[in-house]
Amino acid sequence: MQSFPRIVPPVRRVAVAGGTHGNEMSGVCLARHWLGSGRAELQRPHIHVEPFLANTRAVERCIRYVDADLNRVFTDKNLRQPKSDNPLYEVCRAQEINETYGPIGSERAYDMLLDMHNTTSNMGISLVLTSSSDHLTLHMAQFLQRKLHPIPCNFLLIEHPTLTYFHVRRVMKHGISIEIGPQPQGVARADITDHMRRSVAYCLDFMHKLNSGMELPASTLDVHRIDRYIDYPRDGDGHITAIIHPAFQDRDWQLLHPGTPIFVSLSGEAIAFEGQETVFPVFINEAAYYEKKIAFWITKRETLNVEPLRVEDGPHKECTST
Residue 18 identity (one-letter amino acid): G
CA dihedral 33, 48, 170, 280 (to 10 degrees): -60
Chain mean position to CA 131: 12
> Other C-beta atoms within 10 Å of 192: how many?
21
83-97 residues labelled b (16+ CB within 10 A) or e (exposed): eeebeebbbbbbbeb
What does R_g of the chain's alpha carbons equal in angstroms?
Answer: 20
Residues 91 and 52: beta-carbon distance below 8 Å: no
- Tell me the β-bridge partners of 296: 230
**Which residues are tagged catalytic?**
179
Strands (E), 91-192: 112-118, 124-129, 153-157, 174-181
E strand or H helix at 29: helix 25-35
